[in-house]
Chain A
Amino acid sequence: MRRLEVICVCGFGLGTSLILKMQLDDVFKEAGIDAEVTAFDITGAAGMDADLFFTSAEFHDQLQAGTSSPVIEVHDFLDKQTLRDLAVPAAKKVMEQWQ
């Protein structure tokens, strides 16, 4: 089975996106989803492709303009329950299309 490729994006790729990556690693592991989550800054993420993107509200439109994959907006990086509710259904939807 293919691995889900996920990119988290923040301004400089050293702070917030790493926290989001750690949270998403946990969420996908708990849900039994095989995902590779990478943290990038907004400049580095431009032109990159993945199955799913996660970012804060500020970068949503900019990222969505460059990809046909879903870009998910996260408001509270520490709220794992909300993150789970956003990430797991989105991941499952992507994986359904693989079959």
Chain B
Amino acid sequence: MLSQFLNSRTIAVRQRAWDKAQAIRIAGELLVKQKLIDEKYIDEMVQAVEKLGPYIVLSPGIAFAHARPSQLVQRDCVSLVTLDPPVAFGHPRNDPVSVLFVLAARQANQHLSVMRDLAKLIIRPDFLPAMAQAGSEEELLKYLRSVDAQS
């Protein structure tokens, strides 16, 4: 269930970021505030995207930031931020990013169940339009609840 991970405290809509590092920081801070991850996990995500490249932009407009599973993560968690205006991550084909997820896992290979739900979510044809349309966190949650109800 998406609602198990994504709620009013772990999503934010129409956030403004001047670059990918700030975008990742905005999405990561939601989880820091909930004490789900350590601030250092955000630094690791930013370093990862610098070092490993923009592969995290896995489809036009959609990025999944994450770092290595570690003890910096208190509990497996996810945040979701929509970016307005969209932000360039340096991907040759899939830029700019308008939807950013942060994934955090405490142990390797523990993310399968939520990833399955997230994959099902992002392959929906109405996903990107719904993200662009959501003008408030409540609207975005309403969409996610409707997706949960259909699964």
Residues of A within 8 A of B (CB): 10-16, 18-19, 22-23, 42, 56-59, 75-80
List the count of A-B residue pairs having beta carbons below 8 Å apart: 73
A78–B67 touching, CB < 8 Å: no
- Return the contact of A58 from the options B53, B68, B116 (Cβ within 8 A): B53
Chain A residues whose C-beta falls within 8 Å of the C-beta of B149 in the assembled complex: none
Residues of B within 8 A of A (CB): 48, 52-56, 58-60, 62, 64, 66-69, 92-94, 103, 105, 108-112, 115-116, 118-119, 122-123
Q: How far, in whole Å, are A58 and B109 apart by their CA atoms in the complex?
A: 22
- List 4 A-B pairs, minimum CB-CB distance, nearest first: A56-B55, A78-B59, A58-B53, A77-B58
A79: shortest Cβ distance to chain B, in Å?
7
Q: Look across to chain A and name the residue whose beta carbon is closest to the beta carbon of B123.
A: A78
B95: shortest Cβ distance to chain A, in Å?
12
B108–A14 touching, CB < 8 Å: yes
A78–B52 touching, CB < 8 Å: no
- Return 8 A-B CB contacts under 8 Å, by A number: A11-B55, A12-B69, A15-B64, A15-B66, A15-B115, A23-B119, A78-B59, A78-B62
- Return the contact of B58 from the options A13, A76, A80 (Cβ within 8 A): A76
B55–A14 touching, CB < 8 Å: no
Whether A22 contacts B116 in the complex (CB less than 8 A), given A12-B66, A76-B94, A77-B59, comes out as yes
A16–B93 touching, CB < 8 Å: no
